[in-house]
Every structure is written in C-alpha cells, then in structure tokens.
Amino acid sequence: MMGRGWFNTIHSTGERPKVTRALIKRILDYAKPYRPQLIVMLILILISTGLGLVTPLILRDLIDRTLPTKDLKRLLLLTISLILIPVLTGGLSVFQRRLNANIGEGVIYDLRVALFSRLQRMSLNFFKHTKVGELMSRLNNDVVGAQTAISSTITTTITNVIRAAAILVVMFSMEWRLTLASILILPLLILVTKRLANQLRDIAREAMEHNARMNAMMNETLNIGGAILVKLFGRTQVEVDRFEQRAAKVRDIGIRRAVVSVSFFVILGLVGALGTAFIYGLGGYLVIKDAFTIGTIVAFGTYLTSLYSSLEGLANAPVEFATSMVSFERVFEVIDLPQDVPEKIDALELKDSRGKLSFEHVSFKYDDEEGGLSEVRRFGRMDSVRATLSSHETEKPEIEELPADGASQARSVALEDITFQVNPGELIALVGPSGAGKTTLTYLIPRLYDPDSGRVTIDGIDIRELTLESLSNQIGMVTQETYLFHDTIRTNLSYARLDASQEELEQAAKAANIHHFISGLPNGYDTIVGERGYRLSGGEKQRIALARVILKDPRILVLDEATSHLDSESEALIQDALKKVMAGRTSIVIAHRLSTILAADQILVIDRGRIIESGTHAELIAKEGLYANLYHTQFSQSEK
C-alpha cells in the first residue's frame, strides 16, 4: 500500500545512506536537460582558469625582468594586462553566473513540478496522514537544498578540480620541490573534512525536520478554520507558546549549524595558513641560497593561495554534497511514494456512460499503519522520528463517530461485502447511523480509495480499468463540507469546466437557485469568496457547489444531502435545486430528509459497514428493522 517506497527499504542495510552510482545518476538526470548550458559553463571555467594563471606570471616578469631592466614599454603592457585580466574575468563571471542561475532555477522548477505532480496523484489516504506544512517544506526548503547540489556544488567542484590541476602543472614547471611540499598538507585537509562532514549533514537534516514541524503548525493555526478554533477556545497564548517551542528548536539548530560551519572553515583556513607559512619559509630559504628569484617565490605564493582555496573548496564539497543528499532523500521520498490508487498504462476511456453502477462484494479497510509521510526514518539519528505528528491524531469519521442511539460504530473494517446495483437514471438513498460507512462507500465511486476486495463497475467495466480523468468526468460529487478556493465565484464555478461561458455559468447558477444572490453582490460573479468560502453562508456555499456540479454535467451524481444546519429558506432552495440536479441522472444520495428517501427507487440501510436492509420506504417500514427505527426517531421528526 502506501508510504514505504525505496526510502524505507534502505533502513535494514545500515544507519547511513549509501551514495550509490544509481543515486548519483538519478541526481545528475535532473541536469541532463541543461547539458548545453553546462558545456558552455565548462568552457567559461577553462577560460577563467587560464586567465587566473596569467596574473602570477605577470608579477614574476614584473619583479624579475621589467623593473630591474627599467623597461617602461614592457611595464605599460604588463600594467594594462593586469587591468584587462580582471575585467575579462569579471565579465565571464557574470555570464557564468547567469547560466548557473538558469540551471539552478530550472532544476528547482523540475523538482517542484515532479513533486507536485506526484502529490496530485496520491490518494485521499495519503493526505489524511500528512500535514500540509510538511509538504510545503518538501516543495520549498528541500527542493532548494537539492538544487544546490546541481547548480552550486557540482559546478564549484568542477571549477576547483580544473583550477587545482592547472595550478599544480604550472607550479611543478616552476619548482617541483616546493610543489611536492605544498601538497603534503592534503592529508590534514582530508582528515578535518571527514570529521566534520557527517556532523554538518546530520545537523542539516535535523534543521529540516524542525522547520517542517514549525511550518506544519503555522499551516494548521493560520488558516481560517484553525484561527476560528483558537479564538473560540481562547487558546491564543497556548498556540504562541507552542510556536515559541518549535521556533526555538529552529533557532537553536540554526545557531549550532552556524557555529559548526564557521569552525569548519576556520580550521581549514588555519591548515592552509600552516601550509603557506611552511612554503614561504622554505621558498625564502631557497631565494637566499639563490636557488630561484624573488619573482618566482611571489608568483609561487600567489599560486599557492589559489591552490589552497581550490583544495578547501574540494574539501568542503563532500560536506555540501552530503547536506544536499538530505534534501534529495526527502524529495525522492515523496516522488517514490507508491500510488495506492494507480492508473493502468492501458486504461480505457469512459465515454458516453449510461450510468449503470454496481458494487460487487466490496470490502474496504482504512490503513492505519501506513500513509504518506507519517513515519520517516532519518539517517544519522538514533531513533525513528515522525516527520509529521498527524498519523496518531487523524480520526476517521466512519469509524469513530457514534450513532444517535448510542450503539458504537467503531470497527476495524469500514465496509464489508457490499453488493448492490443502480440502473441508469435511478436514485439510491443511503441511510444509516452516523459512522456506519455511508461516506466511505461514496468515496469508492470516484476512486478516492480503492476497495481491498471486490469491485466497483460502471456500465459493467471495473473502474480500475478506466483512466482517472475519464472516470472523474462522468461523476459529480457534492460533499457535506463544501470547499471553495480563495478566489472569485466565477473561478470556483469554472473549475468544473474551464471553458464555460458566462451564459453557461448563469444557467448553472439559476438551476442551483444561487444566481439571484450572486447578481445582488457588488462584484457579481467576480466576488471573492474568501478562505474556504468563509465569506459565504453554509447554504450559499452548498448552492455554489451544486451549481459547479451542474456545470460539469456528470452522468452519475453522488450527494451528501446535509441540510440540517441550514435555515429553512436555504434548505428549501437547496432541496429545489437538488431535484433539478438529480433529474435524469444516476444518483447516490446520503439521505438526511424523508422527501429524498420517499423519492428513492431503492433505499440501502447501512450499519457497521454492511448493508443490512434494502428496499422501498414501505417495504422497509413493514420489516420493522433498523430503518423503521431511524424513521420514527429521525426522519419523520425532520419533516414536522
């Protein structure tokens, strides 16, 4: 099912991830589309490196030849050269930086699109187990961290390798003894790097986790629903204190990361200074002994500074790359999540559906053990930590809620052996206690979940054989909790059909009894509805949702007909709109009103995930079972 992927399979192999050839190849695959720019950058690096090698040679010539011979013409040429070289190098650096930015931002774009595309294809189960703040952290912080490996670390490493190699060639040509002495410092550089690289990588990983938790909390408490809940319960200070705790962890790990990082570079600098002092001491001795000239030692010292700078960059590359590996781990973790509602490669297109719907021995169980990013093991940590804290907090209404009569609906299996058939154009009413499994049943129709056993068919075709898009096009669903984007009414309605004209929008709105209300707004259809539609009443949101479904014009309609919380006027308008919406369509309705139940061609009574009764209103009343009890205690009262 969900949430393991390749990432968790590595856990058994060791405490730390192995940077394999396959992993490196996968990372470099993101750079393939930018191969032309990378080639141009390589050429610019070679040119810049060549220009950098010229300056010390000019200085040597200036000291050893030009000044002693008092050659003014040569002095002028060398002076002009010393000006032109940095000008040319600066121009090349600007162009190189532009190319690098194009590559880096392109990689960010590619990774974000890959992540977002994968997330869009995840099932509802994934989103019920994963906090939005964690996903935002993956799409922002981790993607940028991963991009650094390609646009910065790899480019810098190539530059330093070329520069160090070129400098060593020139230095060997000048004085091989000093060159050998200068590279004796390399083992010490490698030792320092090895000791600090793993520590910095683990700190970076921990920082990402703390940031993800802080982002998750902000997302929960700063949306309109969270803000209302905090204010209603007077928990403002509690939330501030919680945020302070999480922000403090981000602060503390940031300080620790900064101290370790600067310590790393200070130690590298001291090692480089030790090597430079040694070379100048030995070189000065050779100058005194007339082994070579003052100009040579000056040029050699300049080369040595550049060499150590490149070596320090190469020593730091594993640290930066290891840090980027943390980001790639977190990015690939999402990209590699398996889809528990997959689409077949050769899936069929469902066109001109008749609307015949069948459930054949369908059973379904919510997966509590797996789900998205609920359990993620971070390498370099002693224990398994939770990337999000939502897995143990998420409640499933089909399991946890109690019905009106007090009998518990809690169970391990949400639906068990569900079998029924709806003919084209028929209306099926789903009735039962709260938590019996009605909503879960409707979620299986558009494949928000897939059944564990049995199958759901439309026109005799297993819906798992169909493309998700064509299946969605044939199904319209209005849930009890209406969701609207923080945008205009026009945008929210057009989501059903992106090319809908103004006339079509108005026709759908009139059918849903909402056009008159929209027309009375100052900005009409261009009115902003607010976060989740909170600027509108419950009845207004539901009628906009109905208009959106009407505009979609589906063959199969799935409705949660919840109107108990609405005023009588809104309820009447919605009931009238429902009659128009359901006309001529195959409809499955979670019924809350007797009028809908009486109009149904068939009533399915669900209790504890099973269909225990079915038939018409009169037939079920005659049985004197659960339906008769619900009728006398709930439905008959709602009509009074």
Could you tell me the pLDDT band of residue 186, with boundaries at 50, 70 and 90?
Answer: confident
For residues 85, 89, 92 and 93, what is the CA-based torsion angle, rounded to 10 degrees?
A: -170
* Helix or strand run (H / E) with residue 488: none
361 in the same domain as 285 = no
Dihedral sign (CA 107, 111, 114, 120): negative
- pLDDT one-digit tens code per residue, 271-284: 777 777 877 788 78
Decide if 6 contacts 17 (C-beta within 8 A). Answer: no
Residue type at position 406: G
- Is residue 370 one of the residues assigned to a domain? no
361 in the same domain as 299 = no
Q: Which residues, at least 6 apart from 318, have a Cβ–Cβ distance to it below 8 Å?
A: 193, 197
Q: Choose the weakest-confidence range: 33-42, 332-341, 459-468, 520-529.
A: 332-341
Could you tell me the pLDDT band of residue 21, with boundaries at 50, 70 and 90?
Answer: confident
- pLDDT one-digit tens code per residue, 432-479: 888 888 989 999 999 988 999 999 999 999 999 999 889 988 998 888
SS3 per residue for 358-410: EEEEEEECCCCCCCCCCCECCCCCCCCECCCCCCCCCCCHHHHCCCCCCCCCC
Residue 540 lies in domain: 357-365+413-638
Q: Is the pLDDT of residue 368 over 70?
A: no
Give me the pLDDT at residue 568, please.
65
- Is residue 48 one of the residues assigned to a domain? yes
- Is residue 11 one of the residues assigned to a domain? yes
Decide if 454 contacts 363 (C-beta within 8 A). Answer: yes
- Ramachandran angles phi, psi of 389, nearest 5°: -105, 15
305 in the same domain as 454 = no
Decide if 89 contacts 51 (C-beta within 8 A). Answer: yes
- Is residue 213 one of the residues assigned to a domain? yes
Task: Give the integer Cα–Cα distance in Å for 119 and 126.
Answer: 9
Q: Which residues, at least 6 apart from 590, have a Cβ–Cβ distance to it below 8 Å?
A: 429, 430, 438, 439, 442, 480, 559, 560, 561, 562
Residue spans of alpha helices (H) in 72-223: 72-120, 124-129, 132-137, 143-148, 154-174, 176-182, 186-222
Give me the pLDDT at residue 83, please.
92
- pLDDT one-digit tens code per residue, 385-417: 233 333 333 333 333 333 444 455 666 788 999
List the 427-431 sheet strands across, edge first: 475-478, 556-560, 586-590, 427-431, 602-607, 610-615
Give me the pLDDT at residue 638, please.
55
Give me the pLDDT at residue 398, please.
39
Give me the pLDDT at residue 580, please.
74
Task: Give the residue from 553, 560, 547, 554 showing the smallest Cα distance to 511.
Answer: 547
Give me the pLDDT at residue 458, please.
94
Place of tokens 């409705």: 559
CA angle 469/475/478 to nearest 5° reads 120
507 in the same domain as 559 = yes
Any idea what the CATH number is for the domain that residue 160 is in? 1.20.1560.10
Q: Is the pLDDT of residue 205 over 80?
A: no
- pLDDT one-digit tens code per residue, 571-622: 677 777 777 777 778 999 988 777 778 888 999 999 989 999 999 988 999 9
- Is residue 582 one of the residues assigned to a domain? yes
Give percent of the chain with pLDDT exceeding 70: 84
Any idea what the CATH number is for the domain that residue 449 is in? 3.40.50.300
Give me the pLDDT at residue 562, please.
59
Decide if 307 contacts 164 (C-beta within 8 A). Answer: yes
147 in the same domain as 65 = yes
223 in the same domain as 125 = yes
- Is residue 342 one of the residues assigned to a domain? no
* Helix or strand run (H / E) with residue 565: none
Measure CA of the first residue to CA of the last residue in the chain; give whole Å.
48
361 in the same domain as 281 = no
- Is residue 347 one of the residues assigned to a domain? no
* Structural domains counted in the chain: 2
430 in the same domain as 525 = yes
For 464-623, list the strands marked E by DSSP: 475-478, 556-560, 586-590, 602-607, 610-615
- Is residue 403 one of the residues assigned to a domain? no
- pLDDT one-digit tens code per residue, 101-134: 888 888 888 888 888 888 888 877 788 777 777 7
Q: Is the pLDDT of residue 80 over 90?
A: yes
115 in the same domain as 245 = yes
Task: Give the integer Cα–Cα distance in Å for 183 and 592.
Answer: 82
Give me the pLDDT at residue 197, please.
67
Give percent of the chain with pLDDT exceeding 90: 15
Could you tell me the pLDDT band of residue 569, with boundaries at 50, 70 and 90?
Answer: low
Q: Is the pLDDT of residue 20 over 80?
A: no
Give me the pLDDT at residue 415, please.
92
Task: Give the integer Cα–Cα distance in Å for 147 and 31.
Answer: 10
Higher pLDDT, 74 or 570: 74
Could you tell me the pLDDT band of residue 556, with boundaries at 50, 70 and 90?
Answer: very high
Give me the pLDDT at residue 495, please.
87
241 in the same domain as 118 = yes
192 in the same domain as 92 = yes
Give me the pLDDT at residue 375, please.
37
21 in the same domain as 142 = yes
Q: Which residues, at least 6 apart from 256, have a Cβ–Cβ distance to it below 8 Å?
A: 203
Decide if 15 contacts 379 (C-beta within 8 A). Answer: yes
Q: Is the pLDDT of residue 380 over 60?
A: no
